[in-house]
Chain A
Amino acid sequence: MKDLIGIKDLSRQNIEEILNTAKAFKEVLNRDIKKVPTLRGKTAINLFFEPSTRTRTSFELAEKRLSLDVLNFSISMSSVVKGETLYDTLKTIEAYNVDYIVIRHSSSGAAKFVAENTTASVINAGDGINEHPTQALLDAFSILEVKGRIDGLKIAIVGDIIHSRVARSNLYLLSNFDTEIRFVGPPTLLPKDPPDNVKIFYDIKEGLKDVDVVMLLRIQLERQNAAFIPSLKEYFHVWGLKKDIFSYLKSDAIIMHPGPMNRGVEISTEVADSCRSIILRQVTNGIAIRMAVIYLLTPKER
């Protein structure tokens, strides 16, 4: 495979191969010397058109652990304002002879556009509201670590589904397994025409009943001017995970969040810091998954 644009493009076999490879890399990360010489002499560029600290850092660390030379190209809107098109930016970068391009962009479809126009391997680190495949892979890896399986699980994704690339990638990934998928949240943030294999819940208590995994999504403060919800306070009041969930959640259910989380919006401090939360494990696993993905991709011969 040349690129990882979306989970949409992957089969269950592809997914399992990435998860298995990540397992091997996680062992490397637990060693004293955390670096392998696998991709020495190759170059990766992190091309971020949207501000991101966590995802970019995670990719950068993964690349360094694989002995890649790493360039960071954080493009605020400034060069867009100067009139350079994505195509031109891409051709400039290609002239550096890079082997891997990690791209984050605010437009859905941007990663595919980049992949179609370069010989380098392209990894989608989030394109608009479309996909964020490495997040879904690290989520699956984390579930597998804790639960030992993905098949047979009930998973609730809670929050701003319609604007979430994390929700989409997780949906496509989990749809490759025998899972029950639920979307939980206010009707204004759930799809009008949901996918056939998804159950919709407006009521958090009903939505979380019997689930094995709760995936929270970040409620983006900057979107609320469009009035999807009346206020963050009301969101927290109705859909925020507060400690009362422990009274009805399954005793072995786990809670996940792609970060950065808003305490007091999606989740209360008591829940975030409880033993149910595997949020920090997700962060650690992100590096192993990204190493695996980069390792498994093959740039096109130039």
Chain B
Amino acid sequence: MIDPFTNKEGIVDIFIEDGVISKVQLKNKLKSLKTNSKPSSSVIEIEASGFYVFPGLIDMHTHLREPGYEYKETIRTGTLAAIRGGFTSICCMANTNPVNDNPEVTYYILAKAKEEGSCDVYPIGAITKGLKGEELSEMVMLKEAGCVAFSDDGMPLMNSLIMRRALEYSKTIDAPIISHCEDLYLSENGVMNEGKLSFYLGLKGIPKASEEIMVSRDVILSKHFKAPIHIAHVSTKGSVEIIKKAKEEGVHVTAETCPHYFTLTEEAVVSYNTNAKVNPPLRTEEDKEAIIEALKEGIIDVIASDHAPHHIDEKKVPFQEALNGISGVETAFALSLRLVHDGILNLKQLIEKFTINPSKILKINKNGIKEGAEADLIVVDIQREWIVDKEKFVSLGKNTPFDGWKLKGKVLFAFKGKKTFDLREQ
């Protein structure tokens, strides 16, 4: 077991009763425990020696698409896909239809998640009404309804004054603002990273400056107006440098990246592969390396999937017209484990980026694996190899550039409250 919440590591026996962890016992005390327990037919014993137990992973950036785009993904399929990927908690972005900019939508999502969901769902409210970037949404009421953070993800907040107001106002509710950093004027309908390759392919480019200018802006606003900012899906070396400097200056900034930004480069779109079309776009080797380094140094706090499922009809079109996004929740953790297998991060560092760090940023007070806490953990064979098969995705979104990849690390079981998921054969 590795648990960053309790800061405990070791070989343990974990007893779960009625969805609650009743005992976490170091292995050498096993004997006394066994005699104390009362075996009954309802007891399931899982022998997990050689495997790891981690707290359930948290994905602080997903798109569940419900309400409004149920043909892309539903709360039922999205949360089950999350479980399959090792996530027992996910945060869903506000760009649904209707937008999650009023408490009714938040209640709807939470009710649906309770009814049909497999994991915990933490909605992220819109910063502005309708994601229009004009008027602040009712952030206090949204928070009271259950939103844990605020973001206009997908529709970058271009107006710096509105961003200032959002940051200031967010202090009343103690919930972070998550910024999708993109200057839409500079992106100018671009569809991939701008550079030699975009010129070669005849595709309009999105310069790195488009992201970096907004990262700078948000860091400056955070600094001047003393409110936390979380930078979503960092994709460039320049952004890493800005965040690093800000952190050194004591600015309350946190950051996330996604597996595709430290696994792929713009080369993935060479064949006009629409499944590698994502926003921000895949960048260059230099950026990929800087992001890996930033994960190592702790400049980037969180790995999130930015799970963005789309229907096949939205990807089976010429590259320029394809929608942005990768269905990532089922591959995010296994792709990230490559950093461990390659000796870049140790396992604990990686698990922190999926558990305690997002929990702290979002202030969702996860407990980790400790007695008396709700069961919220996963069992992982980090050596088990498997082949990504998009047709086997539980997610309705089959849009992955990783189809056919051989990955190492498989979630075998997930425990979330009274729910137990046996994922061994999937």
Question: Which residues of A are at the interface with B, using a C-beta cutoff of 8 A?
Answer: 8, 85-87, 105, 107-110, 112-113, 127-131, 162, 165, 168, 191-195, 226
Most buried by B among A86, A109, A162, A191: A109
Q: B6-14, B94-102, B317-325: which one contacts chain A?
A: B317-325
* A89 smallest CB distance to B (angstroms): 11
Per-residue CB proximity of B278-313 to A under 8 Å, as 1/0?
Answer: 000000000000000000000000000000000001
> Among B196, B201, B207, which residue has the most Cβ atoms of chain A within 10 A?
B201
**Contact digits for B191-215, partner A, Cβ 8 Å, 1 yes 0 no:** 0001110011111100100000000
* Cβ-defined contact, B201 with A130, below 8 A: yes
Q: How far is the CB of A158 from chain B (nearest CB, A)?
A: 17
Contact B202 A110 (CB under 8 A): no
Given A192-B194, A193-B195, A193-B196: A108 touches B317 (CB 8 Å cut-off): no
A19 to B116, CA, bound (A): 64
Cβ contact of B202, chosen from A85, A165, A194, cutoff 8 A: A165
Given contacts A105-B318, A193-B195, contact A85 B203 (CB under 8 A): no
**Which listed residue, A8, A109, A191, A195, touches B203 by the CB 8 Å rule?**
A109
Q: Do the beta carbons of A191 and B318 come within 8 Å of each other? A: no
Q: Report yes or no: B202 in contact with A195, Cβ–Cβ below 8 A.
A: no
Q: Across the interface, which residues of B come within 8 angstroms of A162, CB to CB? A: 199
Q: Counting CB contacts under 8 A, is B405 at the interface?
A: no
* Complex: A194 Cα to B194 Cα, angstroms: 11
Q: Say yes or no: is B132 at the interface (Cβ < 8 Å to chain A).
A: no
Residues of B within 8 A of A113 (CB): 272, 317-319
The 7 closest A-B pairs by CB, nearest first: A130-B202, A107-B318, A107-B320, A109-B319, A109-B272, A110-B318, A108-B202
Q: Which chain A positions have C-beta within 8 A of B144? A: none
Asked if A87 and B317 sit within 8 Å, CB to CB, the answer is: yes
Asked whether any CB of chain A lies closer than 8 Å to the CB of B165, the reply is no
Can you list 5 residue pairs at the A/B interface with Cβ under 8 Å? A108-B201, A109-B320, A113-B317, A130-B203, A191-B196
Contact A86/B317 with A129-B202, A168-B202 known, Cβ cut-off 8 Å: yes
Q: How far is the CA of A108 from the CA of B200 in the complex (A)?
A: 11
Smallest beta-carbon distance B143→chain A, Å = 40
List chain A residues, Cβ under 8 A from B418: none
Q: Which residues of the partner chain B approach A191 to less than 8 Å between Cβ atoms?
A: 196, 199
**Would you call B199 and A128 a contact (CB within 8 A)?**
no
B188 in the interface (beta carbon within 8 A): yes
**Chain A's nearest CB lies how many Å from the CB of B363?**
42
CB distance B204 to A129 under 8 Å? Answer: yes
Contact among A8, A85, A107 for B319, CB-based, below 8 A: A107
Most buried by B among A105, A128, A195: A128
Given the complex, which residues of A lie within 8 Å of B194, measured CB to CB?
192-193
Set of chain A residues within 8 Å of B321, measured between Cβ atoms: 107
How many residues of B sit at the interface, in one of the four size bands? 10 to 19
A116, closest chain B residue (CB): B272
B316 at interface, CB cutoff 8 A: yes
Contact B202 A131 (CB under 8 A): yes
User: Which residues of chain B are near A87, meaning CB under 8 Å?
Assistant: 316-317
Knowing A108-B201, A128-B202, A129-B204, the reply to whether A86 touches B318 (Cβ < 8 A) is yes
Q: Which of B314-356 contact A (CB under 8 A)?
A: 316-321
**What is the bound-complex CA distance between A128 and B321, given in angstroms?**
11
Known interface pairs A129-B204, A226-B188; A193-B320 also in contact (CB < 8 Å): no
Which of B318, B319, B320 is packed against the most chain A CB atoms within 10 Å?
A: B318
Bound state CA distance, A193 and B200, in angstroms? 10
Docked pose: A162 CA to B319 CA in angstroms: 18
**Chain B, residue nearest A163 (CB):** B204
A108 touches B203 (CB 8 A): yes
In the bound complex, what is the Cα–Cα distance between A193 and B202 (angstroms)? 13
B191 and chain A: residue at smallest CB distance: A108
- Chain A neighbourhood of B272, CB < 8 A: 109, 112-113
How far, in angstroms, from A226 to B188 measured CA to CA in the complex? Answer: 9
Contact B319 A108 (CB under 8 A): yes
Cβ A195 vs Cβ B200 within 8 A? yes
Give the Cβ gap from B257 to chain A, nearest Cβ, in Å: 24
| B390 nearest CB across to chain A (Å) | 18
Contact with A along B162-198 (1 / 0, CB 8 A): 0000000000000000000000000010000011100
Tell me the bound Cα distance from A87 to B204 in angstroms.
22
**Known A107-B319, A109-B319: A127·B202 in contact at CB below 8 Å:** yes
Partner of B196, one of A110, A130, A195: A195
- Evaluate contact between B317 and A85: CB separation under 8 angstroms: yes
Residues in B neighbouring A194, C-beta threshold 8 A: 196, 199
B243 CB, min distance to chain A CBs, angstroms:
24
- Residue of A85, A108, A110 with most partner-chain B CB within 10 A: A108
Are the C-beta atoms of B199 and A193 separated by less than 8 Å? yes
Closest to A106 in B: B320
Q: How far is the CA of A30 from the CA of B207 in the complex (A)?
A: 50
Task: Name A164's closest neighbour in chain B (CB-CB).
Answer: B202
A195 and B317 in contact, given A109-B272, A112-B272, A129-B204 (Cβ under 8 angstroms): no
A105: B residues at CB distance < 8 A? 318
B188: A residues at CB distance < 8 A: 226
Q: B195 contacts A128, CB within 8 Å?
A: no
A131 surroundings in chain B (CB, below 8 A): 202
A107 and B317 alpha carbons, distance in the complex (Å): 10
Q: Apart from A85-B313, A109-B201, what 15 extra A-B contacts exist at CB < 8 Å?
A: A85-B316, A86-B318, A107-B320, A108-B203, A109-B203, A110-B318, A112-B272, A113-B272, A127-B202, A127-B318, A130-B203, A192-B194, A192-B207, A194-B199, A195-B196
Q: Given the complex of chains A and B, what is the CA–CA distance between A128 and B200 in angstroms?
A: 13
- The closest CB in chain A to the CB of B321 belongs to A107
